[in-house]
Amino acid sequence: MQTNDVLYNSHQMSKTLKEKTATGIIWNFLDKFGQQGIGMLVGIILMRYFLSPDDYGLVALIAIFNMLGGILIDSGFTNALIRKKDVTQTDLSSVFYMNLVISLLFYLLIFFAAPFIAHFYEKPILIKLIRIMALSLPLYSLSIVQNTLLSKAIDFKRLASSNLIALFCSGFLSLFLAWKGWGVWVLVVQPISNVTIKNIYLWCVTSWYPSWIFSKQSIQDLWKYSSKLLASSTLSIICKNIYTSLMGIYYPLEDVGFYYNANRYSEISYQTIIPAIHTAVYPAMTKIENDPEYLKNAFRKTIRVSSFVFFPIMMGLIAIAEPLIHAVLGPKWLPIAPYFKVICVGYLFLGISALYTIILYIKGKSSPILIFSLLYNIALLVSIAITIRTGVLAMTIGWSVIGVVYTIIFTSYVSKKIQYTIMEQLKDIFPYFMLAAVMGIGVFLLSLVIKTNLILVTTQIIAGAFFYLFATYLLGSKVFQETIRMIKSKTYK
């Protein structure tokens, strides 16, 4: 009787975990796609009617400081808290105060460094831009713990609400200020208003508040795991954004703006689909880390679903780049098309490699993450040194090539941790890659027949989606059936 009770309770826990994970994935997709949808709409209006490539070039030069600040503030504690099973109020309060102190110190550093940065680029306006934009950093630190707790509880409904409400309000404010002629300052006000609104929402809907307690021991315990993740993320942010920083030295501000937006729009799918799956699946998988077979099967399903969704979107974007940019952003932004396509190729591979980090997170293997990040970023720096005087496109191609090679090496290493063989990976990934490639070639050929950009893009999207879904259905794709079943029943088996 006791054994049956244990089995029943285990089954109930497993069922609840599956349901929460499936619901989390759905809400995460709604959240990410909603954010990108609102962000794209606002961005398109700003780019098409109000702002110039030079405006975006200015922001691109200093984007590295805000991104680096965000990583340093979080310090990798988010993943450490999610992974830790017995989180206490002392842990949470200590992390809250630690984040706040780091954010204030980093803001002061940026504040006093602003004149030197502006002098380096010979752009006096950067002083005020940097100092005001960096205000978002201490504001961001105020809700990291609340955000982490909701993620740990797989409560992505409230996370989605906070993100979408904040983005909608900040986007509306940005458009209003752009209409009033604020120019580049719109791009500064937007992140500050976004994080402020999100903070207000999260502090209102969550029941957690910090206590007047700080434990050095708690920070040290979490730091053992988070320190390597922090180092890895810091390296990634520096090397990713160093492209625009160095371009500002060798090339006109307009070219920097073109590259910045090419990267921004090509990574939308990467930043939407992959984090949505990663964020929803990671907390659930931490609960099954002691069951190797269950973990492997769950991860394989994650890879199949990701490939099924991710590959056709990226291939499609590569195929329709020129008419899409012309129809949506206008002819003045067509120079971003070559960069856009090359960057999409890199993200096509990096998107899959990003999912493999889930296994290392779950197993607490932060050292390999740091080592691979170090090697990847060293390769990027070498690539930059070789291509920087050749042109922006050459730099972009170098980045993409490094991304492809890195993905092959990294996934080969991680797959061994769960006995995920090369043949199994090819079986899970390759069919969707090939179908997406055929679909991409097909929709590209439509451009030889249809010459009106808006009609062409609409036809390409509809035809591409129909072909891909119909082909996967005819071929009896399990993931197609699983995806439909998961959406209907909200189970993640």
Does position 491 have pLDDT exceeding 70, yes or no? no
d(CA 225, CA 151) in angstroms, rounded, equals 18
The arithmetic mean of pLDDT across residues 102-112, rounded, is 91
How confident is residue 391, by pLDDT bands cut at 50, 70 and 90? very high
> Which three-class secondary structure state does DSSP give residue 229?
helix
* Residue listed under structure tokens 């995920």: 420
Predicted pLDDT at 3:
37
Predicted pLDDT at 377:
86
d(CA 242, CA 233) in angstroms, rounded, equals 14
d(CA 228, CA 255) in angstroms, rounded, equals 35
Count CB-CB contacts under 10 A for residue 209: 12
* Residue listed under structure tokens 């600040």: 69
Which pair of tokens denotes residue 338? 């070559």
d(CA 340, CA 248) in angstroms, rounded, equals 19
The DSSP string of 39-91 is HHHHHHHIIIII--HHHHHHHHHHHHHHHHHHHHHHTTHHHHHHH-SS--HHH
The predicted-structure confidence for 275-326, as pLDDT tens digits, reads as follows 777 777 777 777 777 778 888 888 888 898 889 989 999 999 999 999 999 9
> Which three-class secondary structure state does DSSP give residue 391?
coil
The vertex-305 CA angle with 304 and 311, nearest 5°, equals: 85
The mean of the pLDDT values for the chain is 85
Nearest to 323 by CA among 442, 464, 444: 444
The arithmetic mean of pLDDT across residues 348-365, rounded, is 86
DSSP state letter for 333 = G
